[in-house]
Amino acid sequence: MKRFVKSLSRESLSLLAEASSVINSTLDLRTVLDNIAESAAKVMSAEAGSVLVHDKPRSKLVFVSATGERAHLILGQEFDAELGIAGRVASTGKAEIVSNVQADKSFYHGIDEISNFSTRALMAAPMLVDTEVIGVVEVLNRVDGEFSEGDLELLKVFANLAAFAARNAQTHERLNQQHRFLCEQVLKSERIIGDSGALREVRSLCDRVAPSMASVLLLGETGTGKELFAKYIHNNSPRAEKPFVAVNCGALAESLLESELFGHEKGAFTGAIAQQAGRFEMAEGGTIFLDEVAEMSPHTQVKLLRVLQERTFERVGGSATIACDVRVIAATHRDLKQRIAESKFREDLYYRLNVFPVRLPALRERIDDIARLVEYFTARAAQRTGLHPPHVSAEAIAVLTRYEWPGNVRELQNVMERAVLLCNRETILPADLPVEVSGSAGGETGGGAEHGTLRGIERALVVKALHDSGWNQTKAAGRLGISRDNLRYRVKKYAITRDG
């Protein structure tokens, strides 16, 4: 390249310097490619310039940038990499000048036909990074006269400069994509937030059991973060690099759950048009998390028991025995001993799952963590929505701390996401919180007649909503604008029964 530069005229060097300044003025890949095509046409005094990228996996040359009146007709066009003069340049890595393209059998007429452009002469030079051809710079029809060997030397130098500019922009774009991906992963990822005594005890138990193969049973109310703790155990185990597969056993019908867990053979049931692997196969070598395990049917419980005892199973409709190496972490908000007494859960399965039970504390049992959780959920919600994270006032924190949180951490997360969206100032105040939170907390901190009146009003509202909904708790919760868990908490709190 140094030899080429020495042979260039002062005018050519000036044009190169100007072009280099233009194509290196940005790291936006789209702009860099456009600048390369425009600068190539300008430096070479050509009617049109273009940049073709070599798509090696598909063996294609793709027009990614072009100049001229008909440029829009060829952008995105592609052709087989072995075709045309540009294809030859990409293959050999050597620049070419063709003064009469009609006399060159290699000339590919397809692009001229698409753009209705008449190419008389062209020059093409490889964009080389080390020895790799990442693309081709092409210029067509010199405006005044014909292309010369000196022009070709100039295009070679230009193409080298362009190659490094394009590679820098590619690297920058890739880093930006990685950064965006990591940001998305951070947003998607959940952390165990808090340092209360109750939480420290649970984390300590999880740390102790994580390195083992033991089955774990996570117990606790809805919304306490069972899946989060299951992931924590998995991520701190020797299986961390293997799959973590979660299944909500309560969200699937009995007929679907068995197939979901163990897979099925083609024709096993109506709609089984092909063999399908189940979640246990997907989790091979890793961990499967069975949420709401108490909702399993007796038949599925038998199959799960066999997996825990023998580490084998068969797909639905199949006879081949499949061995599996999967750690099981189960979870439920129900009292399994009561379910056993009601003959709704197998006692032998309970003992297999209950090797290492971990009870997760309700949020009201770890009120010292609420302020940190509020800060975390507020920042997370703001980042997800592109808003500036508001400050949460001390008064709002006090209200949030006094609330009972029947929906636990999940309810707190929803409340803070809503507050971030509704708050139109820099500080979240109690008024920005749902009435079920601020009203309930305010009532419970009041005294005497006021306290009793608020309780009475709230109880009456709950009873009326239940009555109007035919005692369907889901519908009643919808009428009140609260969650079903929140309604259940109030039914229990006020000892509400259908009989009065």
DSSP 27-44: --HHHHHHHHHHHHHHHT
Does residue 500 fall inside a structural domain? no
Name the domain count of the chain. Answer: 3
Q: Which two tokens stand for residue 203?
A: 């984390």
Does residue 183 fall inside a structural domain? no
Q: What CATH number corresponds to the domain at position 439?
A: 1.10.8.60
Rounded CA separation 237/243 (Å): 12
* Amino acid (one-letter) located at 378: T
Does residue 192 fall inside a structural domain? no
Rounded CA separation 114/74 (Å): 7
- The pLDDT assigned to 500 comes to 58
338 and 226 within one domain: yes
Among 334, 361, 388, the domain boundary falls at: 361
206 and 114 within one domain: no
- For 174-202, what is each residue's pLDDT tens digit? 777 655 545 544 444 457 888 899 999 99
Residue 301, phi-psi category: left (phi > 0), alpha (psi -120 to 50), beta (remainder): alpha
- The pLDDT assigned to 453 comes to 44
Among 361, 382, 397, the domain boundary falls at: 361
- The pLDDT assigned to 186 comes to 47
Q: Using DSSP, state whether 105 is helix, strand or coil.
A: coil
248 and 355 within one domain: yes
- The pLDDT assigned to 177 comes to 64
233 and 138 within one domain: no
pTM, 2 dp: 0.54
Residue 227, H or E segment: helix 226-235
246 and 205 within one domain: yes
Does residue 188 fall inside a structural domain? no
Does residue 498 fall inside a structural domain? no
142 and 12 within one domain: yes
392 and 356 within one domain: no
**Strand ranges for 34-121 from DSSP E:** 46-55, 60-66, 78-80, 96-98
Burial of 332 (0-12, 13-18, 19+ CB in 10 A): buried
């992931």: which residue's tokens?
Answer: 231
8 and 151 within one domain: yes
Write out residues in the chain with pLDDT < 70, as ranges: 1-13, 177-190, 271, 440-457, 499-500
- The pLDDT assigned to 357 comes to 96
- The pLDDT assigned to 351 comes to 95
- The pLDDT assigned to 11 comes to 66
336 and 380 within one domain: no
Alpha helices in 237-310 (DSSP H): 254-262, 279-282, 298-310
428 and 320 within one domain: no
385 and 354 within one domain: no
Q: What CATH number corresponds to the domain at position 249?
A: 3.40.50.300
Supply the range of the domain harboring residue 489: 366-493
Q: Using DSSP, state whether 13 is helix, strand or coil.
A: helix
Q: What CATH number corresponds to the domain at position 169?
A: 3.30.450.40
345 and 375 within one domain: no
Does residue 401 fall inside a structural domain? yes
Any idea of the CA torsion for 118, 123, 127, 130, to the nearest 10 degrees? 160
Among 327, 346, 361, the domain boundary falls at: 361
Does residue 270 fall inside a structural domain? yes
Does residue 468 fall inside a structural domain? yes
